[in-house]
């Protein structure tokens, strides 16, 4: 006898602590949609970062798909939800809705069995390396220096990333100066950059040649992630590893991208949840690539621990801040490694309902 899974969802909008921007977008607040999946008094929790319009998608399109599904059969639930989304379009908001619910269902199952989620999934490692991610184009030199030096010298995180490609690639000189300033700040730590698709193909290669002495190791979205050939050309022209994949919503997307990158990025809050993250990581592994988890570090922790070909997890300033404001049980990245709490069931997170009320989207 199967007990029906009940879903509920709510959006919260949290202002940034300073204006944030990258090569192709600027923002002053971030919306998180939190999902609770319950059965017989046990509740699992998942979330995604996306518009509040994801909430009615979950209520109207996904909740009815779960009426006959055994809560242990998470992949059956996932298939039913994928089918239910067909006419709404799988990428975009519908994909984020699917991702948040899938994460909540895995968490629910782990809690029903009294297991940490990384144990239910089957850990492949005991810690996850992280890189500090921020260095927004909107920061001045002092703010960038303070953020990067805190990560490297106070938290012991040996790799950090800044945003470049400012104003759709029209501020090359400032990008180059900020890369040089970042290197002066962090000493021998690894330096990553992310252009968020702001450059053209040759421009991306030219900027990297200008900063050759700064030993940039990671060049994320040097050109638009839709320009797969361009990613491949930049990859051949620069020493840094070229990475992309944060806008991937399904396996076909990741399969197409794999030949053009050095490391595949996957976002569990967009790609269809833990279920699809694991399959996307397998697609990368089959091509001899590692994967990097994009944003939402606390929700990635369990699946990252269970991914053999994982390189690192993004310790994204905005989400690190929001997750510690909204959840108890968040893990620290001290020493540059995240570890799960083996004594906590599920993903180890508890939502702070009272504190979150002020950010609730009506």
Q: Which is nearer to Mg ion, 39 or 99 (CB)?
A: 99
Binding pattern for the stretch 144-163 against Mg ion, x by CB under 5 A and - elsewhere: --------------------
Closest approach of Cβ 50 to Mg ion, in Å?
A: 15
Angle, CA of 316, 145 and 211, to the nearest 5°: 90
- Smallest distance, Å, CB 161 to Mg ion? 8
Residue 116 C-beta: closest distance to Mg ion, Å? 29
**Least distance in angstroms from the C-beta of 196 to Mg ion:** 6
Total of chain residues touching Mg ion, rule CB under 5 A: 2
> 129 with 337: CB under 8 angstroms?
yes
Smallest gap from Cβ 150 to Mg ion, in A, equals: 21
Provide the pairing of β-strand 216-220 with 159-163.
unpaired
In the complex, what is the shortest distance from the CB of residue 188 to Mg ion, in angstroms, rounded to a whole number?
24
Hey, which residues between 226 and 265 contact Mg ion (CB under 5 A)? none
Tell me if residue 238 falls in helix, strand or coil: coil
Q: Which stretch binds Mg ion (CB under 5 A): 216-224, 256-264, 279-287, 348-356?
A: 216-224
When the beta carbons of 193 and 211 are compared against Mg ion, the nearer one is 193
Nearer to Mg ion, 107 or 323 (CB): 323
The torsion angles phi and psi of 318, rounded to 5 degrees, stand at -60, -45
Q: Which of 157, 185, 192 lies closest to 332, judged by CA? A: 157
Cβ closer to Mg ion: 116 or 297?
297
Cβ-contact 108, 53 below 8 angstroms: no
Kindly give, in sequence order, each residue whose CB lies less than 8 Å from that of residue 230, ignoring residues fewer than 6 positions away: 201, 222, 223, 224
Closest contact distance (angstroms) between CB of 163 and Mg ion is 8
Compute the distance between CA of residue 67 and CA of residue 62 in angstroms, rounded to an integer: 10
Q: From residue 234, how far is each of 108, 160, 257 by CA, in Å?
A: 43, 21, 14
Task: Between 61 and 216, name the residue whose CB sits nearer to Mg ion.
Answer: 216
Helix residue ranges per DSSP H, the chain: 54-57, 74-84, 93-112, 117-121, 141-149, 166-169, 172-186, 201-210, 228-237, 251-257, 273-286, 297-305, 317-326, 353-356
Q: Please, which residue, 313 or 345, has the CB nearer to Mg ion? A: 313
Q: Smaller CB distance to Mg ion: residue 194 or 318?
A: 194
**Residue number with CB closer to Mg ion (84 or 135):** 135
Contact by Cβ (8 Å): 205, 242: no
Q: x/- site string to Mg ion, residues 298 to 317, per CB under 5 A? A: --------------------
- For residue 313, list its beta bridge partners: 130, 293
Q: Which residue minimizes CB distance to Mg ion? A: 194
The interface with Mg ion within residues 186-205 (CB under 5 A) comprises: 194
Task: Give the H or E element holding residue 337.
Answer: strand 337-338
CB of residue 351 to Mg ion, shortest distance in Å: 27
Stretch that binds Mg ion, among 8-16, 36-44, 147-155, 218-226 (CB under 5 A): 218-226
Q: How far is the CB of 25 from Mg ion (least distance, A)?
A: 10
Tokens for 327, please give them: 């959840």
In angstroms, give the least distance from the CB of 239 to Mg ion: 19
Q: Between 220 and 250, name the residue whose CB sits nearer to Mg ion.
A: 220
Of 107-115, 170-178, 212-220, 279-287, the segment contacting Mg ion by CB under 5 A is: 212-220
The one segment of 78-86, 213-221, 255-263, 267-275 that binds Mg ion by CB under 5 A = 213-221
Q: What is the DSSP annotation of 132-199?
A: EEE--TT--HHHHHHHHHIIIIIS---EEEEE-SHHHHT-HHHHHHHHHHHHHHHTTSEEEEE-TT-S
175 binds Mg ion (CB under 5 A): no
Query: Which residues of the shown chain bind Mg ion in the complex (CB under 5 A)?
Result: 194, 220
């Amino acid at each position: 006898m199967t007990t029906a899974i009940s879903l509920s969802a709510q959006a919260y909008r949290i202002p940034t602590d300073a204006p944030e921007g990258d090569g192709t977008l600027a923002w002053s607040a971030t919306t998180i949609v939190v999902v609770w999946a319950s059965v017989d008094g046990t509740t699992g929790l998942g979330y995604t970062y996306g518009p509040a319009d994801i909430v009615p998608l979950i209520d109207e399109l996904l909740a009815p798909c779960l009426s006959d599904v055994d809560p242990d059969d998470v992949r059956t639930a996932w298939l039913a939800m994928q089918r239910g989304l067909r006419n709404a379009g799988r990428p975009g908001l519908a994909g984020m809705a699917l991702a948040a619910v899938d994460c909540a269902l895995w968490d629910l199952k782990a809690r029903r069995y009294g297991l940490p989620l990384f144990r239910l999934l089957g850990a492949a490692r005991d810690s996850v390396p992280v890189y500090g991610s921020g260095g927004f184009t909107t920061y001045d030199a002092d703010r960038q220096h303070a953020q990067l030096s805190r990560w490297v010298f106070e938290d012991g995180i040996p790799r950090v990333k800044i945003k470049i490609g400012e104003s759709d690639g029209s501020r090359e000189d400032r990008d180059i100066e900020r890369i040089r300033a970042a290197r002066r700040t962090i000493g021998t730590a690894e330096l990553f950059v992310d252009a968020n698709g702001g450059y053209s193909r040759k421009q991306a290669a030219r900027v990297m040649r200008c900063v050759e002495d700064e030993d940039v190791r990671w060049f994320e979205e040097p050109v638009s992630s839709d320009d797969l050939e361009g990613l491949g050309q930049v990859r051949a022209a620069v020493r840094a590893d070229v990475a992309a994949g944060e806008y991937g919503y399904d396996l076909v997307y990741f399969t197409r991208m794999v030949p053009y990158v050095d490391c595949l990025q996957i976002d569990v809050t967009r790609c269809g949840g833990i279920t699809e993250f694991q399959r996307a990581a397998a697609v990368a592994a089959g091509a001899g690539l590692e994967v990097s988890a994009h944003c939402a570090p606390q929700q990635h922790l369990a699946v990252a621990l269970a991914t053999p070909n994982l390189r690192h997890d993004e310790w994204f300033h905005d989400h690190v801040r929001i997750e510690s404001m909204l959840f108890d049980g968040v893990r620290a990245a001290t020493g540059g490694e995240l570890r799960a709490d083996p004594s906590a069931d599920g993903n180890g997170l508890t939502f702070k309902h009272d504190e979150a009320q002020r950010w609730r989207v009506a």
